[in-house]
Chains A and B, each alone.
Chain A
Amino acid sequence: MQHAVATLAGGNLVSLHWVESETTDTTMPGEMMMTTATPTAASAGVAETTGPNPISPEMKELQWGAGSFIVLFILMRLVLFPRLKKGMDARYAGIRGDHEEADAAKAGARADVVAYETALSEVRAQAATRIDAARQTLDNERQSQLASANSRIAARRAEADAQASAAKAAGRGQISEAVIAIATKATQIASGRTPDAALVKQTVTTTMESAGAQ
């Protein structure tokens, strides 16, 4: 069966709770049992079961809490925080210095790259100018040599043409003489008389020129 147990301290109600009872007595169900807590709090190990309002601060806790916090604050203010912060600031300053050095090195490298690219573009421009000049010179040279060769070829061609014309004229004279001789001989054989040489020559010459014209 269950019993309501009220715990009293100094005539004041400290707690009220239900407990399960081993008894089989059913004559008083839900009986209100009054117990009085002992001032030494024997039932709760290290805890006290009775005492003042548990919410109100206790002087010993206040004193130890205040003392502990004040000691911590004083040590933190005067010793602990300044030592730690000094090291943190020194390390951060070192890191910042390293960063600045790295930034400066990076800026220097970038400037070197820019200078290199500028020099490279200047060299490229100079090379292009020189190549263009060389190409121009080569072109002029080629043109002049081509003109010279053409003029030499033209002169040789003219000379060859002249030689060919002379040879042609000489050949034509020899052919004309041979034809005249043959025509004179053939006329002598056919008619038994010698034809007029001037007439034969004129006839052969006219015939050959007309044949050449055709």
Chain B
Amino acid sequence: MFAFEFPPINEILRWQDIFPGFNKIALIAVAATVISVSLFLIAARQDYREAPTGSRNLAEISVEFIEENIIMQTMGRDGLGWTPFLLSLFLFIYLCNVPGIIPILQMPATARMAIPIFLAIVVWFVYNATGIKHQGFFGYFKSVLFPPGVPKALYVLVTPIEFISTIVVRPFSLAVRLFANMLAGHLLLVIFALLSEALFEARDKVLIPLGILPFGMLIFLTGFEVLVGFLQAFIFTILTAVYIAGAAHPEH
């Protein structure tokens, strides 16, 4: 009745090099950095004494969003020193997510595992180093592996669970959450785009009007991906803040 051919998964996710060693994912990652840096450079050139507009307004909103909605909610005033790191993390992830719905690009860089796993490893190093810095090597691992208030007999169960959850699983959960959400959104957009195309170009004319259904879904999911891209960046960043705060102040 109609030809619907779902392309191989490699065709959807893997991109040929634009030049040797540099593909679309690398382009998006570099663009995310260039856009962030440009935004803040342009913002810094504006007169700070006047009410912020345009790029300065956007830059200040992003700073205040990180400070008020992430740091103050999870780390308190002591955590404001982490603003540059968390701001970089949020902007980079968000700008890597957004190209999933930008025509021509149509690929979130975080739907490939490289960037999420790198960021998760960075976060893993950061929160463990913070814990060791604040509590000392043995103090940190003692607070992680032997949480206070637990009956000693339960340490047989709790210690391995805490070791696996805090030391092993956290970076993977961070990376896989971001990667899987963005990959799923990307695949959904591909599926509904291909289904719309197949129905609109079906040889049986009766099927052509039905193409409006997947096409409508495609538009809805495109809007939804705007929210998902923001939400995943926010979740990754706030979890990072929670992990750092937990490592710095285990009593909280």
Contact = CB atoms under 8 A, between A and B. Distances in A.
A116 interface: no
Contacts, number: 161
Query: What is the interface residue range for chain B against chain A?
Result: 35 or more
Given A15-B9, A72-B32, A80 B37 contact: yes
Interface of B: 2-3, 5-17, 21-26, 29-30, 32-33, 36-37, 40-41, 43-44, 48-49, 56, 59-60, 63, 83-85, 87-89, 91-92, 96, 109, 112-115, 117-119, 122
B104 to A, nearest CB: 11
Interface string A59-99: 01111111111011101110011011111101100100000
A47 interface: yes
B16 A80 contact: no
Q: Is the interface of A mostly helix, strand, loop or mixed?
A: helix
Contact of B9 (A18, A54, A86): A54
A68 B48 contact: no
A54 B5 contact: no
A44 B12 CA distance: 9
26 contacts: A14-B10, A44-B11, A48-B15, A49-B7, A49-B11, A50-B8, A50-B10, A54-B9, A54-B14, A57-B113, A57-B117, A65-B114, A65-B115, A67-B29, A68-B29, A69-B29, A72-B33, A72-B92, A77-B88, A81-B84, A83-B40, A84-B44, A84-B56, A84-B63, A85-B83, A87-B48
B86 to A, nearest CB: 10
A77 B83 CA distance: 9
Interface residues of A, number: 49
Interface of A: 7, 14-15, 17-20, 37, 41, 43-44, 46-51, 54-58, 60-69, 71-73, 75-77, 80-81, 83-88, 90-91, 94
